[in-house]
Structure 1
């Protein structure tokens, strides 16, 4: 019985040793680069710019009105009543500007997050396709440092460009 258990332990040790000595195929992807340079990311950025361009222009228009009003107040010596009316108008414009800016930023961030979620799904599918096709054992998306030999970011970018 002892001999049988010792044999089984020996066989297990040899199997573990063989698995440990087998070479692992590891890849690393620079996610930030993918989100900056991939064709879907560039298209998403252009969509967002186009979608929010009108609101940005409105914001710039309100800003220009406020600046013009303030410059007009500084240049001209106005009667007290008119100066106070312009000050109230300037305060109102400033409040409108800040509200519009906050709403724009909130809406833009929400849409950006939607676009990023869809993009991340496409990136993950591309990585999985590469992993299955090239028999990777492990692919990391975040690393403090990566050896260029195991960086597969270019492969992911190429695969995303084809879609």
Structure 2
């Protein structure tokens, strides 16, 4: 793989913007209760029984949570791999042209560096201007290539994101998940359902 395509990655921030956390079955009041349960316990009457408090907090402790690694989905799922291969094919010709232009610039610079001591001032100035123009053209084309590549990739992966969201929602409903998140500091493999989502995408691609 050549330089331009090999160094093109899908930005994590873009992934997080595309694939939002799927939240099912948890009402606003339940979330509010989870955040204030401790304060409510402190304010209860001295003669109040502890049984009702235990009963109230039980639903919170039984919440079923899942985790989805969005980067892995957009890297390892079959639809993502197919899209990546297709896009790289679309940009292969432009990428080769960039490599050719970079090679030409490198050769001209090496020749200039070798011959500069014996060149006239006029020829040296002309050669330097040509090298500068070639470098400017190369940088512009690289920038345009990267922008077009990223735009095309985002378009293709948006469709995969929609399918992934649908798969996550379907899994959550079938397996009674209350909350599925996509970002966390640390995650137990026990609640990671990424492979399940990838399998659903692969089967439905």
How would you bin the TM-score normalised by the shorter chain? 0.7 to 0.9
1:110 matched residue in structure 2: 151
Q: CA deviation at 1:82?
A: 2.6
Deviation at 1:43, TM superposition (A): 1.2
More helix by share: 1
Q: CA deviation at 1:100?
A: 0.3
Counterpart pick for 2:190 among 119, 144, 149: 149
Aligned length: 152
Which structure has the larger Rg? 1
Q: Which residue of 2 aligns with 1:51?
A: 90
Helix, strand or coil at the partner of 1:162: helix
The separation in 2 between residues aligned to 1:73 and 1:21, in whole angstroms, is: 73
1:12-27 mapped onto 2 (5 Å cutoff):
17=56, 20=59, 23-27=62-66
- Alpha-carbon distance in 2 for matches of 1:65, 1:114: 33
TM superposition score normalised by structure 2:
0.67
Determine whether 1:131 maps to 2:159: no
Unpaired stretches in structure 2, ≥5 consecutive residues: 1-51
- Provide the alpha-carbon RMSD of the alignment: 2.3
Moved over 6 A (4+): none
| Residues 21/70 of structure 1: CA separation in 2 closer, same or farther (3 Å cut) | closer
Q: C-alpha offsets along residues 65-100 of structure 1, whole Å, 9 cap, x if unaligned?
A: 111111111222233333222222111101100110
Provide the residue aligned with 1:162 in structure 2: 203
- State the secondary structure of the residue aligned to 2:91: helix
